[in-house]
Amino acid sequence: MQRVRVKKWLWMALLPPGLVLLIITLLLCSPKPELYSNYAQSSAYFADGGELLSLRLASDQRYRLRVALSDIAPVLRQATLLYEDRQFYSHVGVDAKAIIRAFWQGVVQGGRRQGASTLSMQLARLRYQLNTSSISGKLQQLAYALYLEWHFSKDDILEAYFNYAPYGGNIEGVAAASLIYFAKEAHRLTLPEALALSVIPQNPNQRSPLSNAGVQQLELARQRLATLWLEHYPLLQPDAAGRLSLPLTFNTRTDLSYDAPHFINQLQTQGHTAGRFYTSLQLPLQQQMQQKLRAYLRRHSDKGFTNASALLIKRSTLQVQAWLGSADFNNAAISGQVDGVTALRSPGSALKPFVYALAMQQGLIHPHTLLSDLPRRYGSFNPENFDRQYAGPINATEALINSRNVPAVQLQARLTAPDFYHWLKQAQVPLTFPAQHYGLALVLGGMEISMQQLVQLYAMLGNGGNWQPIVWQASAGSKASQALLTPEAAFLTLDMLRQHAKPQAGLLSELVDTTPVAWKTGTSYAFRDAWAIGLSGDYVLAVWLGNFDGSSNPNLIGRSAAGPLLFELFALLPQDNLANQQLFNSNQQLNLKQVALCSRSGDLANKYCPKTRPGWFIPGVSPIKLSEVHRAVPVYVDSGLRACYHQPPQTQLQVYEFWPSDFANAYQLSGLVLQKPPHYQEACTGQQFSQQAPKIRSPQPTLTYQLGKQAAQQQIALQASFDGAVTKAHWFIDNRYLGAVAPGETLFWQGEAGEFQLRVVDDLGGVASQLLRVSTN
């Protein structure tokens, strides 16, 4: 390299010694320049398959994109040097022979003027924005060319030339020109395309492919270069010359791709506004989902469905696969430029799975724990189910997949360390108000969240309870994760959601019948938002239907509006049986066991339970106990009445169900008549004890009750659940007796401000107590 450099500069030996010394001194003292100072780049976004998603203007309203010399097709480099500067690698930035030849022919002989600018001189003019129409400008250009040659290698200079060269209109640099004119990156250019680009910079105004006249001039110049190319680089194929002479098709700026505009806008808001950005987006899948979504809206236009959004991520990496911010970005009637993936909306019931997950993690329930779906008040909050009906006793899995509101609120009220509000804050959900503002309505969608944040939450269920940020890049390194759920709670919640029946309105696809999907829906207050989110294989998919103006539509129901669209989009995804097995099958590292549970009570089956089913539980965490519902009662054979003790052969044992009083009342309200044991034949002597201790249901121990001004607002409802054999219970405030009730009845206490010890005692000796706080407004 040093020998080549010395050889190039031997021409200075022909100059006067004083001038040589001056030139060397100036070059030695000059600082190394910055080749790309103030080089404003466009922003180019690519899909995972290399397709251009969008090319946006640079800050100076030009298309300009930097590219390395190694990423430029070799034929383009060869063609440019052949056309512009054949002695590029042998001169020092100034081709003295070319200058003398141009001077002799153009000035002395008065012939056609010839250009004598080397690529180094052209770079100097472009980089330093020189006016070279005058002699002084030309001298500046010569000086800067020497200056650049002194400090940079030939490859550096050639690379910079390709990044600065004009290619017509506001298009500068070969990278932008290649993307605009041929919809490909510069390393993929063919020989005919390379020849075309090589001739543009010499006269970018007249040879610009942006006009018909420019294309004609460009084709003439390209044919001349093609002839020259064949002279220097003969091609072996006999039809090579004919193929080089075929006309090219040029795209224009209006033909630029503009896919996934909401996704690109989001990248720009994150600061990706200059240079290349290779995303994880799957363009074919994005386009298929867009078509399917629009077709779905057209089919259901009679229901008032006009807009929808969808987000697909790869579960294992959180990489974005498809991002549909609206049905049509350019449709102003639906506010299409609003991004439904990042917009904050009410999630309806879509957050319920995480209350159940926390309840299992905190040892409050397991998937088959019986919950009570009955009316209950929490101060001034009186939650209702979507259908305004109550199911009575219902196990946790059925309550979740049927989206019952009352059991979910009950569970949220029992969560501690963390409660649901603080857990959502840990998951970076933007709750702008204090916990008291949301209260127990959080689980019912009494807040706002984006689709992007919802998908991150659901991805946790398939990733062992680990929360991760969304990933945009095709090859991004692993990002820090945060364990917000135990792996066991995450898996059990996923297993519960997998049992959610799929919509069967028509034959959606084979996926509906064969591929397991864990999914949940949500409907916001006043039918403004319909949600459906699901996990299958290595994907998490969310869809939303609604209107960005917040208008209501009674057809916007999660299960019937968003659910079918969710499965239509799932049907587009490649099937991965291995990923599904890993997602839905428990592994040995999980602290989980399966046992036989009594089908009716959800507890460990005792010997009297008539039917069992397998159920998961977390050893040492889940509230597993022996079922006390089914009990053997001694009955006199002759009278059919109940005996105090079993005295065979006079008595025989018969099994009856002894439900806690609140469950027994719930069955009665739902129209299910339970068979009761017969009355005692005689009064029993001796102490009997309740097998199930009372449980105070109202008031709640975590709430402070406020007394209103009216008498009705000063009453506090006292309710409890009792063993199925209890017939009467007594309520006490501190040591004051308040009254007696039968199981299932409510006692109202005229409240007073202060802190009290509330106690209830049943007639079988069971006792429950808690602290009660009461204040005045």
pLDDT of 705 above 80: yes
Q: What is the pLDDT of residues 472-496, one digit of tens each?
A: 988 765 678 899 999 999 999 999 9
pLDDT of 687 > 70? The answer is: no
- The residues pairing with 615 across neighbouring beta strands, listed in sequence order, are 595
Q: Residue 527: exposed, middle, or buried by beta-carbon count in 10 A (0-12, 13-18, 19+)?
A: middle
Binned at pLDDT 50, 70 and 90, residue 71 comes out as very high
Mean pLDDT of 60-82: 96
Rounded Cα–Cα distance for residues 662 and 655 (Å): 21
For 737, list phi and psi in degrees, rounded to 5.
-80, 130
Please say whether the beta carbons of 132 and 216 come within 8 A: no
Would you place residue 108 in the very low, low, confident or very high pLDDT band (cuts 50, 70, 90)? very low
What does the alpha-carbon distance between residue 211 and residue 208 come to, in Å, rounded to a whole number? 6
Query: Which domains, ranges and CATH numbers included, belong to the chain?
Result: 1-29 (no CATH), 31-255 (1.10.3810.10), 280-345+449-478+493-590 (3.40.710.10), 348-447 (3.40.710.10), 695-776 (2.60.40.10)
| Cα dihedral sign, 613-617-622-626 | positive
pLDDT tens for residues 220-234?
999 999 999 988 887
Residue 657 · residue 621 · CB < 8 Å: no
Nearest one of 393, 424, 403, 459 to 629, comparing CA atoms: 393
- Among the residue ranges 181-190, 210-219, 444-453, 498-507, the one predicted with the least confidence is 498-507
Structure tokens at 424: 């959502």
Sign for the pseudo-dihedral over CA of 190, 192, 197, 202: positive
Q: What are 655's strand-pairing partners?
A: 632
**Which residues have C-beta within 8 Å of that of residue 325, sequence separation ≥ 6?**
261, 262, 263, 309, 338, 339, 340, 341, 342
The CA distance from 566 to 312, in Å, is: 11
Predicted confidence (pLDDT) at residue 4 exceeds the cutoff of 50: no
Q: Match 């290595």 to its residue by tokens.
A: 538
- Of all residues in the chain, the percent with pLDDT exceeding 90 is 61
Q: What is the pLDDT of residues 14-57, one digit of tens each?
A: 455 655 555 566 666 678 889 998 899 999 999 999 999 999 99
- The whole-number average pLDDT for the span 416-445 is 94
Determine the distance from the C-alpha atom of residue 725 to the mean position of all C-alpha atoms in its chain, rounded to a whole number: 52
Residues 306/297, Cβ–Cβ less than 8 Å = yes
What is the rounded CA–CA span in Å between residue 148 and residue 631?
Answer: 97
Cite the DSSP H helix spans in 364-482: 396-401, 405-414, 420-426, 435-438, 451-462
Q: Are 740 and 749 in contact (CB under 8 A)?
A: no
pTM, full prediction: 0.83
147 or 65, which is more confident = 65
Per-residue confidence band for 236, with pLDDT thresholds at 50, 70 and 90 = low
pLDDT at position 372, please? 86
pLDDT value of residue 624: 81
- With a cut of 90, say whether residue 467 has pLDDT above it: yes
Most confident of 84-98, 262-276, 503-517: 262-276
| Residue 655 dihedral angles phi and psi, to the nearest 5° | -90, 130
Both tokens of residue 536?
């299958």
pLDDT recorded at residue 3 = 46
d(CA 163, CA 604) in angstroms, rounded, equals: 74
Burial 685-699 (b: 16+ CB within 10 A, else e): eeeeebebbbbbbeb
Q: Which residue has the tokens 């040659």?
A: 149
Q: Cα–Cα distance between 547 and 545 in angstroms, integer? A: 7
- Return the amino acid letter for 515: T
Residues 43-70, buried b or exposed e (16+ Cβ, 10 A)? bbbbbbeebbbbbbebeeebbbbbbebe
Q: What pLDDT band is residue 134 in, cutting at 50, 70 and 90?
A: confident
* Residue 166 bridge partners (DSSP): 172
Rounded (10°) CA dihedral 739, 745, 750, 756: 70
- Please tell me which residue, 138 or 13, carries the higher pLDDT value: 138
Least confident of 79-93, 165-179, 704-718: 704-718
Helix (H, G, I), strand (E, B) or coil at 579: helix
- Sign of the Cα pseudo-torsion (323, 328, 333, 334, in order): negative
Average pLDDT on 82-98 reads: 84
* Average pLDDT of the residues in 208-229: 94
Tokens of residue 20, six digits: 């040589």
Average pLDDT over residues 4-20: 51
Is the confidence at residue 112, as pLDDT, over 60? no
Q: What is the pLDDT of residues 283-307, one digit of tens each?
A: 999 999 999 999 999 999 999 999 9
CA-based torsion, 366, 367, 371, 373: positive or negative: positive
| Of 22-26, 167-171, 215-219, 551-555, minimum mean pLDDT range | 22-26
Determine the pLDDT at residue 462.
Answer: 97
pLDDT, mean over the chain: 88
231, β-bridge pairs? none
Contact 195, 222 (CB under 8 A): yes
Query: Cα–Cα distance between 458 and 450 in angstroms, integer?
Result: 13
Say if CB 729 and CB 741 are below 8 A apart: yes
Greater confidence, 231 or 362?
A: 362
Q: How far is CA 687 from CA 215, 271, 730, 765, in A?
A: 106, 76, 18, 9
- At residue 52, φ and ψ (nearest 5 deg) are -75, 125
**Amino acid type, 373:** D
Query: pLDDT tens, 44-53?
Result: 999 999 999 9
For the segment 168-185, the average pLDDT, to the nearest whole number, is 96
* Residues paired with residue 233 on neighbouring β-strands, in sequence order: none
pLDDT band, very low/low/confident/very high, at 675 (cuts 50, 70, 90): confident
